[in-house]
Amino acid sequence: MSLTFTPETEKILQDIWSRYPEGRKRSAVIPMLMYAQDQLGVVTSELVAEVAKRCEVSPLQVEEVVGYYSMLNKKRMGKHHVQVCTNIACLLMGGEALWHHATKRLGIGHKEVTADGLISLEEVECAGACSWAPCVVDGYEYHHHVTIEKLDQLIDSIQKVH
Amino acid sequence: MFNEPHPDEVRIISKRFGLPNSASIDTYLAHEGYVALMKAIEMSPEQIIDELKLSNLRGRGGAGFPTGLKWSFIPRDNPKPKYVVVNADESEPGTCKDRLLIQNDPHQLIEGCIIAARTIGCKKGYIYIRGEYRYLIDIMDKALAEAYAHGYLGKNIKGSGLDFDLYTHTGAGAYECGEESALLESLEGKRGVPRIRPPFPAVSGLYASPTVLNNVETFCTVPAVLRMGGQAYADIGTPKNGGTRMLCVSGHVNRPGVYEVPLGFPMQKMIYETCGGILNGKKLKGVIPGGSSSPVLKADECDFPMDYDNYARMKTMAGSGGMMVMDEDTDIVKVALRTMRFYAHESCGWCIPCREGTSWLRKILTRMDEGTGRRADIDLIHELAKNMLGRTFCPLGDAAAMPTIGFIEKFREEFEARLRETTMLATTPDQLISIN
């Protein structure tokens, strides 16, 4: 099965490719995977092969990268990937309670997806929002000073739209 | 972004934060933007390095290495291309300052990079931004496009004959990639595992070429140093500790936030005045002063001028500037466990003392927290952590061991109390035997 990207993604991938010197295109592997995953929702073996071809490396060299980085997923995550930080600064401000609440309300655990594929959860390491803790990140969108009520509102709003 | 300027602050690199459209090039140009670059173009590389040395600017990422000295290590006669790399992989728990610097003032970072390129004779640079910070990558890409459109990037910058291209590069989720050599591996498209040093990046960095690699805040400070002059910048801080730092205060204080204060600012004042004291009028238990890798300080130790040398005197470190404040009710065993869960998750697995050490420490701390700890565990944790020190390629092993040793040495009574609770809860002789 051949892989097609939207024109927007294709433009980004070509731009990424152009940033690195001749003979150093392997550098584009991680950024290409990240932006392609945004469109596809998951890293497939077709994507691995495509990135390997474009960056002039073997598929295995791409696979070993996919296996290392926590944001590259071979399992499809939810349409909304909700990440709850429980690292020290968030822990001090109630991050753990948020995590437990989210897992209980949605009935899923770490890196699991709701049956309808709408929401996935991940307990993440420090997201860089320590002074505005606790924080929850929905996709790439940061939410600060999150309370149980605010988290419920976020989940409600995701469920209402879809 | 979130806190209003405080009278205790000396805003040098954060002075444009509150301005309307502070991230745009028009705002930047209206407020001394790219003035330092025009100055740098008239200066020789040696003069730029001399100003940086005079400024006593030390790296703001964690290690605190003098920036001027670092740049002077780039070999001029090396025929290979040279590179500028920005470490924007901010992921040290407790740290959230680079986010603000990129979000509110991306051109300041770009200007710092161009000055670095001018100094070492480099044509390409990369800003390595952690994958989670996608919205910042978008802000940065927009700022880069503006800089190209205004002739500050690309060919023959402002008629100086200088060519320089600068790009963003996204990470994909790995704390280890904040370590300079692992960052370079990752930038080359590989797993983020550290390299043995020497050679250091100044000699053999990106693509085995001479590379200047600094933290976001360090690059952001460079334009200010050239604008003010190295001596004037140095005069703001304490001897050998030039200028200001972005301190990220989090945890149990009334006004958490990121504050730019002169080096040597008193910690006591920071907690009780700038940040408005401890939440709910509680007492202070301790502070993790420079990100999760720095050893904890007890309440009675939190009264010293915060500069690199005084942190060292307190047997901790300035680190990344992430100050996590803990009130009297904080469960230190839980904090120690959460810290170790982090390091065990983020250990790249390259060096055995770190890979095995962190996961065993996580297991032992877990059973201690869950109430199935054993009498010998406290010393076992201490001993195991000590054996990790200095035995790994990169500082992640030390970063996991140092705070753990600190928690045990400073708060041993809390670990003992947890064991006593466990003993009281034991209901059968078997359980007691397993505890003792």
Write the pLDDT tens digit of every residue in B83-115: 999 999 999 999 999 999 999 999 999 999 999
Spatial contact of A122 and A82, defined as CB atoms under 8 Å apart: yes
**Beta carbons of B191 and A64 less than 8 Å apart:** yes
Cα distance between residue A62 and residue B305, in whole Å: 48
Which residue in B1, B2, B142, B170 has the most chain A C-beta atoms within 10 A of its own C-beta, making it the best mutation to test that interface?
Answer: B170
Range A59-83 average pLDDT: 97
Q: Give the one of A64, A126, A141 whose C-beta lies nearest to B91's C-beta.
A: A126
Best B126, B139, B253, B338 member to test A by mutation, with max A CBs in 10 Å, is B338
Name every residue whose Cβ is closer than 8 Å to that of residue B402 and which is 6 or more positions away in sequence: B293, B294, B295, B385, B389
CA distances from B16 to B20, B97, B227, B323 (A): 9, 14, 15, 24
d(Cα A140, Cα B140) in Å, to the nearest integer?
A: 15
For chain B, what are the domain ranges? 25-234, 244-327, 332-435
Work out the angle at residue A121's Cα, subtended by the Cα atoms of residues A115 and A122, and round it to the nearest 5 degrees: 145
Q: Do B279 and B327 contact (CB within 8 A), yes or no?
A: yes
For residues B148-169, give the mean pLDDT.
97
Q: Taking the mean position of all CA atoms in its chain, how far away is CA B231?
A: 25
Do B131 and A24 make contact, defined as CB atoms within 8 angstroms? no
Whether pLDDT at A1 is above 60: no
Strand pairing report for A119-124 and A112-113: antiparallel
Q: Which residue of B has its CA nearest to A15?
A: B167
Query: Strand (E) positions, B13-123?
Result: 83-88
Task: Report the residue from B173, B257, B330 with minimal CB separation from A71.
Answer: B173
What is the rounded average pLDDT of the residues B116-130?
A: 97
Mean pLDDT of A83-111: 98
Instruction: For residue B75, give how far its alpha carbon lies from the nearest alpha carbon of chain A (Å).
Output: 21
User: What is the DSSP secondary structure assignment for residue B66, as one 8-state letter?
Assistant: B
pLDDT value of position A135: 97
**Fold match between A7-66 and A80-161?**
no
Where are the domains positioned within chain A? 7-66, 80-161
State whether A130 and B134 contact (CB < 8 Å).
no
pLDDT of residue B432: 54
Please identify which residue in the block is written with the tokens 């899923």: A108
Name the CATH topology of B332-435: de novo design (two linked rop proteins) (1.20.1440)
Task: Using CA coordinates, name the residue in chain A closest to B248.
Answer: A131
All residues of chain B having their beta carbon less than 8 Å from the beta carbon of residue A89 are 93-94, 250-251, 322, 324
Asked whether the bond before B199 is cis by omega within 30 degrees of 0, the reply is yes
Q: What contacts 24+ positions apart, CB below 8 Å, involve B299-302?
A: B302/B267, B302/B268, B302/B271
Taking CB atoms and an 8 Å limit, are A133 and B256 in contact across chains?
yes
Lookup: tokens for B116: 């670095």
Residue B40 is inside which H or E element, if any? helix B35-42
Confidence of residue B436 (pLDDT cuts 50, 70, 90): very low
Q: Which of A48, A57, A88, A132 to mutate to test the interface with B (most CBs of B within 10 A)?
A: A88
Interface residue A32 vs chain B (CB under 8 A)? no
Interface residue A18 vs chain B (CB under 8 A): no
Which residue in chain A is spatially nearest to B348 when comparing CA positions? A68
Q: In what order do the strands lie in the sheet with B124-129?
A: B165-170, B124-129, B83-88, B211-215
**A34: contact with B, CB 8 A cutoff:** yes
**3-class SS shares of chain B: helix, strand, coil, % to 5:** 45, 15, 40
Q: Does A65 touch chain B (CB under 8 A)?
A: yes
Q: Are B99 and B215 in contact (CB under 8 A)?
A: no
- Could you tell me which CATH class the domain A80-161 is placed in? alpha beta
Structure tokens at B292: 């999760």
Q: Do B248 and A57 touch (CB under 8 A)?
A: no
Answer yes or no: same fold for B244-327 and B332-435.
Answer: no
User: Which chain B residues contact residue A141 at CB under 8 A?
Assistant: 135
Sign (positive or negative) of CA dihedral B307, B312, B316, B318:
positive
Q: Is B429 exposed, middle or buried (0-12, 13-18, 19+ CB in 10 A)?
A: exposed
Query: pLDDT per residue over B312-325, tens digit each?
Result: 999 999 999 999 99
- Scanning the structure block, which residue is given the tokens 């890196």? A111
CB contact under 8 A, B94 and A89: yes
Beta bridge partner(s), residue B83: B124, B211
Q: What is the pLDDT of residues B265-280, one digit of tens each?
A: 999 999 999 999 999 9
Contact A90, A123 (CB under 8 A): no
In this complex, which of A30, A70, A86 lies closest to B189 when CB atoms are compared? A30
Chain A: give the shortest CA distance to residue B189, in Å: 4
How confident is the model over B197-254, as pLDDT tens digits?
A: 999 999 999 999 999 999 999 999 999 999 999 999 999 988 888 899 999 999 999 9
Which residues in B264-277 are b (16+ Cβ under 10 Å) and which e? bbbbeebbbebbeb
Determine whether the interchain pair B330/A92 forms a contact, defined as Cβ–Cβ distance below 8 Å.
Answer: yes
C-alpha dihedral sign at B146, B26, B36, B133: negative
Residue-level pLDDT at B420: 84
Q: What is the ipTM of this complex?
A: 0.97
Of A34, A70, A87, the CB nearest to B338: A87
> Six-digit token pair at B345?
């998750």
The amino acid sitting at A62 is: V
C-alpha to C-alpha distances, A24 to A56, B113, B212, nearest whole angstrom: 9, 21, 19
**Residue in the block written with tokens 């407790």:** B94
What pLDDT does residue B237 have? 85
Determine contact, residues B92/B319, Cβ cutoff 8 Å: yes
pLDDT at B427 over 50: yes
3-state secondary structure of B86: strand
Q: How high is the mean pLDDT of chain B?
A: 94
Q: Do B135 and A144 touch (CB under 8 A)?
A: no
Beta strand residue intervals within chain A, DSSP E? 80-85, 112-113, 119-124, 136-138, 141-143
**CA–CA min distance A85, chain B (Å):** 11
Architecture label for domain B25-234 = 3-Layer(aba) Sandwich (3.40)
- Residues ≥6 apart with Cβ < 8 Å to A157: none
Specify the 3-state DSSP secondary structure of B247.
strand
Multiple choice CATH, B244-327, 3.10.20.600, 3.40.50.300, 3.40.630.30, 1.10.540.10 = 3.10.20.600
Q: How many CB pairs under 8 A join A and B?
A: 150
Amino acid B317: pLDDT: 93
CB contact under 8 A, A92 and B187: no
- On whether any CB of chain B is under 8 Å from the CB of A64, the answer is yes
Which one of A30, A93, A130 has the shortest CB-CB distance to B96?
A130
Of B2, B172, B342, the CB nearest to A30: B172
Using the beta-carbon criterion (under 8 Å), do A144 and B2 form an inter-chain contact? yes
Mark residue B253 as left, alpha or beta (left: phi above 0; alpha: psi -120 to 50; beta: remaining).
Answer: beta
Residue B153 in tokens: 């990037």
Confidence of residue B434 (pLDDT cuts 50, 70, 90): low
Q: Reduce the DSSP state of residue B209 to 3 states and report it.
A: coil
Domain A7-66: which CATH class?
A: mainly alpha
Structure tokens at B394: 């990169």
Percentage of the residues of chain B whose pLDDT score is greater than 90: 90
Token pair for residue B33? 């933007």
Q: Which residues pair with B325 in a beta bridge?
A: B251, B287
